[in-house]
Amino acid sequence: MTFTRDLTDRFAVSTWSLHRALGGTYPYKPGGNKTTARQPTYGEGLVELIDLPAQFAEYGILRMEICSFHLPSRSAAYITDLRKAFEIAGVKIQTLLVEDGDLSNPETAERDADWMAGWIEIAVALGAENMRVIAGKEPPTDEALSRAETHLRWLAEQLEGTSVRLVIENWFSLLPGPVEVNRVLDALDGKLGLNGDFGNWRGPGKYADLAKIMGRAELCHAKAHYSQTGLDTEDYIRCVELSVAAGYKGPFTLIYDSSFHENEWSGILEERDCIASVLRKAAAAA
């Protein structure tokens, strides 16, 4: 399937979608060391992170999101080499996903905010457009939400003067529905962006709830569900259609998290083709 430049720019892939191909993880955590030994979490792996930009370009995917635990080094030399690999391949680093921390926990929030701030220099050095952090994991009490808002505001201030945008996600216990997501976004008054995620909310109210946030989303983790029979096309198409109807115009980050396809790229490209068909249909009807 061929894509116009406009449609190509509507797709990204997270390194999470290739966690089996990468194999190893580097568990950076608040209170831990900045350098950690590689853990063969998903096996020995078939490819190194620095080789992915060229692979992305071959598949026509020109945007990538990097999970923090997939960075084998935070050294200036490695980050410089990694950014060069992206530039050579013509692939943008859409988002650095900071994969730990809790800004709502009264015992650890300040420590975790400082730890998250330590990733800002990495995001800037990589040339990332966004940095996604975890808003919080505590139940959504007024106190917990206010605490997270305070620390998110401080993090957004640390990013002022850079080209990196701070974003959160509809994820974990602090943000179980649109009321909480919209409250935090409103409290930050434009200083915070939203990455909407199809896979983080479930149940009978999923579609109605997603419809209430996707109009405010700047990014989207388009996670598909797979069963023994393959892609749940009905669910996936419905999520994309409601996003389009809500006014979402950003990129769809393809999240493949299944063993249905032995080759992760087969799943990723299946997701892309499914979304592309919805976008083409919507464009034709406009």
Judge contact between 103 and 71, C-beta under 8 A. Answer: no
Total structural domains within the chain:
1
> Crossing angle of helices 264-285/233-246, nearest 10°?
50
Instruction: State the residue range of the domain holding 282.
Output: 198-286
User: pLDDT tier at 127 (50, 70, 90 boundaries)?
Assistant: very high
- Considering only CA atoms, which of 159, 116, 156 is closest in space to residue 136? 116
pLDDT over threshold 90, residue 4: no
Residue 242 lies in a domain: yes
The amino acid sitting at 184 is V
pLDDT for residue 3 is more than 70 = no
What's the pLDDT score for residue 30?
96
**Are 48 and 8 spatial neighbours (Cβ–Cβ below 8 Å)?**
no
The pLDDT assigned to 139 comes to: 98
Q: How confident is the model at residue 205 (pLDDT cuts 50, 70, 90)?
A: very high
- The reply to whether 53 falls in a domain is no
Task: Give strand ranges (E) for 17-143.
Answer: 63-67, 92-97, 130-132
Residue with structure tokens 């020995």? 44
Which pLDDT belongs to residue 274?
98
Is the pLDDT at 101 greater than 70, yes or no?
Answer: yes
The tens digit of pLDDT for each residue in 153-162 reads 999 999 999 9
Closest CA to 61 of 278, 277, 275, 269: 269
Per-residue confidence at 151, pLDDT binned at 50, 70, 90? very high
The pLDDT assigned to 284 comes to: 94
Classified as helix, coil or strand, 231 is strand
Structural domain contains residue 218: yes
Is there a domain that residue 228 lies in? yes
| Overall average pLDDT of the 4-16 stretch | 88
Query: Which pLDDT belongs to residue 204?
Result: 86
In a domain, 215, yes or no: yes
Q: Give the tens place of pLDDT for each residue, 12-61.
A: 999 999 999 999 999 999 998 777 899 999 999 999 999 999 999 999 99
Tell whether 212 is covered by a domain.
yes
pLDDT of the residue at 1: 56
Average pLDDT, the chain: 96
| Amino acid at position 148, single letter | A
Tell me if 154 is assigned to some domain.
no
Q: Identify whether 36 is part of a domain.
A: no
Instruction: Please report the pLDDT score of residue 2 as a whole number.
Output: 56
